[in-house]
Amino acid sequence: SKTKIYERLTSPWIGQFTKEEANYAIQKLDLTPEGSIARNKWVGYYYYKSDGKVAKNEWVDGGRYYVDSKGKMVRDKWVDGGRYYVGYDGVWQPKPAAGNPYSAALKRAKAYNRIHLSKKRIYEMLIFEGFNSDTAQYAINHLQADYKANALAQAREYRKNTNLSKTKIYERLTSPWIGQFTKEEVNYAIQKLGDK
């Protein structure tokens, strides 16, 4: 067990390692809670293959689950290049309720459009959610969004909830880290904002 390994490592007669060194070694061994090397089994959200190594970027456990580049089970996302969907429990869904990844991406893009995000921000959020670049771009191309109106809505929110000047609102809306709107979209918004 892990406890016995720890006791041997920290024993003044056998291992003579510090507690920190022993804990580090046990952590790096990727042992099951019982202390054995994991093979063909889950340890938490990580799946260990027959060679005892963590599976990464592949389908595991009979093809039912997908693990990401760090080896962690993916849940509630499109995976494998946006071709398949895994549910909240991580299990592959043969026919997800959202339909195909293109319609699912468009549905999510519409939700982001309702909260007045920029085109670039919507695209980034779709990628973050696990859609591939082709699927995300499809959603952007079919969204029929008015990004000038979105910029204006965000400018009005800033005006309503903060004491920011038009210059500061402009900076936030065009910021590559915050608004990510184009200068043309923000100029329109600032012009329509008025002097209020």
Is CATH 3.40.50.410 correct for 147-193? no
In which band, very low, low, confident or very high, does the pLDDT at 154 lie, cut at 50, 70 and 90?
A: very high
Beta bridge partners of 54: 48
pTM over 0.85: no
Q: Residue ranges of the domains in the chain? A: 56-97, 101-141, 147-193
Q: Taking a C-beta distance cutoff of 8 angstroms, is the pair 112, 125 a contact?
A: yes
d(CA 54, CA 186): 47
What are the tens digits of pLDDT across the range 45-62? 889 888 888 899 999 998
Tokens of 109: 């893009």
The CATH superfamily assigned to 56-97 is Cholin Binding (2.10.270.10)
What are the tens digits of pLDDT across the range 5-32? 777 778 777 767 787 877 766 666 666 5
What are the tens digits of pLDDT across the range 98-118? 567 888 889 999 999 999 999
Q: Which residue has the higher pLDDT, 124 or 131?
A: 124
